[in-house]
Amino acid sequence: MHQRGLHRAAPELDELARATSCTADLAIRGGVHAVILVGGSVEPGTGLGLRRPLHSTALGKVLLAWARPGEEDLTALPPLRPQTERTIVGLDDLRAELAKVRDAGYALNDGESALDVRTLAVPVLDAAGHAHCALALRSTPQVLTDARLPWFLGRALACAAALEVLLLPRPGGVRTGPPERRRSTGTPPPRR
């Protein structure tokens, strides 16, 4: 974690969690998993985070939607196993979902990895516009409601922008990542 500088993200995530009353996590891609390294899902005593499938989590969808070169091939993923009855298990469905994620600028997991859990995730983009990591807010559908989603999205995007500055300094401070993500309307993608 220290090699990647992610330890510097902890105060930002703590503040985001306090402001939203959600669990805030930061994950990187580790092969076929989203690996949570910083945030509320990390065991305080051990520092161990979670490994979650890419296809069934908002964190994973963000890491796939803004994949680095060489990581875009969805056929390289293992079989897409269902975590719940809502999990995407077909490659064509996953491709369509990732297109929606890129268009919206964020991903939603609405009971796809665990029942009664809703997660909103946004990318922390590197200079080339690829996901350096993914930032997520996780709670219940009763907290992360469609009506309040724009509010949560605004806070997640602000935190992601701060993390881009904190974790990924640019020479001369110039940002070259795609501006599309910054223009997200905050409107949730249609439910499946």
* DSSP secondary structure, 102-147, as one string: HHHTSEEEESSSSTT-EEEEEEEE-TTS-EEEEEEEEE-TTTS-TT
Residue 58 has pLDDT above 80, yes or no: yes
User: 5-24: per-residue pLDDT in tens?
Assistant: 777 899 999 999 999 999 99
**What token pair was written down for 142?**
């009763």
Residue 191 lies in a domain: no
- How sure is the predictor about 148, in pLDDT bands with cuts at 50, 70 and 90? very high
What is the total count of domains within the chain? 1
Q: Residue 126: give its domain's CATH number.
A: 3.30.450.40
Q: Bigger pLDDT: 114 or 173?
A: 114
**pLDDT average, residue stretch 38-62:** 88
Residue 177 lies in a domain: yes
How many other CB atoms are there within 10 angstroms of residue 163's CB atom? 24
Residue 4 has pLDDT above 70, yes or no: no
**pLDDT average, residue stretch 64-79:** 92
Residue 1 lies in a domain: no
Residue 183 has pLDDT above 60, yes or no: no
Question: Which of 117, 153, 154, 157 lies closest to 138 in space, CA to CA?
Answer: 117
Q: Which domain holds residue 87?
A: 6-183
Residue 189 lies in a domain: no
pLDDT value at position 92?
A: 95
Residue 59 lies in a domain: yes
Buried residues in 168-192 as b, exposed as e (16+ CB within 10 A):
beeeeeeeebbeebeebeeebeeee
- How sure is the predictor about 170, in pLDDT bands with cuts at 50, 70 and 90? low
Residue 164 lies in a domain: yes
**pLDDT average, residue stretch 45-56:** 85
pTM summary value? 0.86
Residue 53 lies in a domain: yes
Residue 179 lies in a domain: yes
Contact 62, 134 (CB under 8 A): yes
Count of helix runs (H) and strand runs (E) in the chain: 4, 6
- How sure is the predictor about 171, in pLDDT bands with cuts at 50, 70 and 90? low
pLDDT value at position 116?
A: 94
Q: What is the mean pLDDT of the chain?
A: 87
